[in-house]
Structure 1
Amino acid sequence: MPSFRTGSTDVNTIQHRYFQELEKDCSVNSASDAYYLSAIAWFCLTFIFPPAVIGAVVCVYRAKKVQKGGRK
């Protein structure tokens, strides 16, 4: 049964705390994070358009370059 249909607020409190912590862990804090997120998107696109794997590789390369002190 979905939590919004239960009479208990405990479930909603637990969900709220879980998503609050998840938000902190999943935020994009740097250029490297943005490139990795782009790489994931490009990789997902490869299921429809296989040559998109090239874009994923480029994004991972740029993310590693930024981590080592390249362009920020």
Structure 2
Amino acid sequence: MVQAGFGAGQIVLVPSSIFLIESFVWKGTILILGFFLIVIVCPILAIFLKLEPSELGLTALGYENTFDEKPKVIDQQPIN
């Protein structure tokens, strides 16, 4: 899915950048693309990207809920 997004982004971004450069010169194009990045792309990323599975109500694979249990202490011997 991610790799398809790279290709789709290039199909859209490259021709639109060329059109903007021809219409508004490169400085205007940079401002327009920067505005697009800040106003459109960043909020979308903030909505969909999460750091922890628990933020989405999910648990990680192999995770066992051990919050109800007391921490287990392993008897450790000092190394001589």
TM-score of the two chains, using structure 2 as the length reference = 0.31
Q: Higher helix proportion, which one? A: 1
Output the TM-score relative to the length of structure 1.
0.33
- Higher gyration radius (CA): 2
**Higher RCO, 1 vs 2 (CA within 8 Å, ≥6 residues apart):** 1
